[in-house]
Amino acid sequence: MQIRNTKSKDEVLRILSQSDYALSHTEIENQCAVAFDRVTLYRILTGFEQQGVVHKIVGNDGKARYATCKNECTDHEHHKDNHLHFGCNDCGKMYCFDNKTIELKMPKGFKAQQFNYAVFGTCPDCNQ
Amino acid sequence: MQIRNTKSKDEVLRILSQSDYALSHTEIENQCAVAFDRVTLYRILTGFEQQGVVHKIVGNDGKARYATCKNECTDHEHHKDNHLHFGCNDCGKMYCFDNKTIELKMPKGFKAQQFNYAVFGTCPDCNQ
DNA sequence: TTTATCAATGCAACAATGTTGCATTTAAAT
DNA sequence: ATTTAAATGCAACATTGTTGCATTGATAAA
Ligand SMILES: [Mn+2]
Ligand SMILES: [Mn+2]
Ligand SMILES: [Zn+2]
Ligand SMILES: [Zn+2]
């Protein structure tokens, strides 16, 4: 036994799966039908992240946002989520560009483990 | 009259200029010879950022770090600081790779204004 | 089904980061 | 020297995230 299914985790995963952009803790809480503690959400998301179910993107505001991982993961290698993100300065939405992968060779001696590629500006909806 | 020179600002700029990596608020405070309020530092750094004197990088920890801008800026166009950064998970240092510029065409409708390109892992010093 | 185990949760308490309002200080133009 | 408003100090606050510990509950085993 390692990981257990719970209503809270189901609900969080449901919300993230149905969203077409990355969600912050607050945004997830607001969309939750089931009610549970704030700390629980932190632990759920951290857990999901470690399992490779979701990935985290940090915006210019320093706030974490989470999105489900679309790319395939093997048991031996979780995908790296080294793709581009776009945060709208107007509406606050953080988009995942899953197909816009960024492959960079690190300078000698630097070993890459996580990626946080984000651009900020205005999204199409806010560009009228 | 727009911007005034002060000891605080001189000190912050001195510290940032002499550092070979980006510094967080706390790191700057610790290196400060002159003493001034925490809020003042926030305002100084925000001001520098708007003037294009420094740029901000946000790490996986959600904390802002600042580094002087090495590339040239014109009055009409501040440089974009669209270069790669590397944050060490061990020692916490955030490096600027000023020559590793990332030029990406945004998807239609998205207008880019700020950039936050960061990779995390272990730096050469911590790779023993 | 019942029992045992420990992952998951709730709650309180806390730390860190960042923001705002307002009175005071002070750089620098006049 | 006088004037102006940029810069600062201080208090108060909001938000985000973390930790410890008792309790609950999912699930494997009896
Ligand atoms: Mn993504
Ligand atoms: Mn940089
Ligand atoms: Zn938008
Ligand atoms: Zn290091």
pLDDT, tens digit (0-9, with 9 covering 90-100), for B2-56: 899 999 999 999 999 999 999 999 999 999 999 999 999 999 999 999 999 999 9
pTM across the whole model: 0.92
Q: What is the pLDDT of residue A109?
A: 96
pLDDT over 90 percentage in chain B: 85
Q: Calculate Rg over the CA atoms of chain B.
A: 16
Is residue B1 situated within a structural domain?
A: no
A95 has a pLDDT exceeding 70: yes
CB A4 within 8 A of CB A77: no
Tokens of B43: 């305002």
Tokens of A95: 């988009």
- Among all ligands shown, which has an atom nearest to the Cα of B54? 2
Q: What is the pLDDT of residue A2?
A: 86
How many CA atoms lie within 13 Å of A84's alpha carbon, on the beta-carbon side? Answer: 19
Is residue A73 situated within a structural domain?
A: yes
* C-beta neighbour count of A56 within 10 angstroms: 18
Q: What is the pLDDT of residue B128?
A: 82
Task: Tell me which amino acid residue B128 is.
Answer: Q
Is residue A2 situated within a structural domain?
A: no
Task: Tell me which amino acid residue A108 is.
Answer: K
Residue A81 Rama label (left phi>0; alpha psi -120 to 50; beta)? left
Of A110, A117, A122, the CB nearest to B124: A110
* Per-residue pLDDT tens digits for A31-42: 999 999 999 999
Determine the Cα–Cα distance for residues A112 and A87; give it in Å rounded to an integer: 23
Residues 6-35 of B with CB under 7 A from strand D: 6-9, 35
Least confident of A121-125, B51-55, B73-77, B98-102: B73-77
Angle (CA) B47-B57-B32 rounded to 5° is 60
Q: How far is CA B29 from CA A120, B59, B63, B89, in A?
A: 28, 19, 14, 21
Mean pLDDT of the region A112-116? 95
Per the structure, the complete domain to which residue B88 belongs is given by: 7-121
* Residue numbers in A near B59 (CB within 8 A): 58, 116
* C-beta neighbour count of B83 within 10 angstroms: 19
Q: Does residue A64 sit at the B interface (CB-CB below 8 Å)?
A: yes
Angle (CA) A51-A52-A58 rounded to 5° is 115
Is residue A1 situated within a structural domain?
A: no
Answer whether A60 sits within 8 Å of B56, measured CB to CB.
Answer: yes
Q: What is the pLDDT of residue A81?
A: 86
* Residue numbers in A near B114 (CB within 8 A): 60, 89, 119-121
CATH number at residue A98: 1.10.10.10
Average per-residue pLDDT in chain B? 92
Higher pLDDT among residues B76 and A16, named by residue: A16
* Residue numbers in B near A102 (CB within 8 A): 102, 104, 117
Q: How many domains does chain A have?
A: 1
Is residue B127 situated within a structural domain?
A: no
Nearest residue of chain A to residue B109 (CA atoms): A124
C chain positions with any atom within 7 Å of a protein CB:
6-13, 16-21, 26-29
Residue A73's pLDDT band (cuts 50, 70, 90): low
Is residue A128 situated within a structural domain?
A: no
Burial class of B57 by CB neighbour count within 10 A (0 to 12, 13 to 18, 19+):
buried
Is residue B83 situated within a structural domain?
A: yes
Quote the longest CA-to-CA distance of chain A.
53
Is residue B2 situated within a structural domain?
A: no
Residue B92 Rama label (left phi>0; alpha psi -120 to 50; beta)? left
Strand D lies under 7 A from the Cβ of residue A2: no
Strand C lies under 7 A from the Cβ of residue A58: no
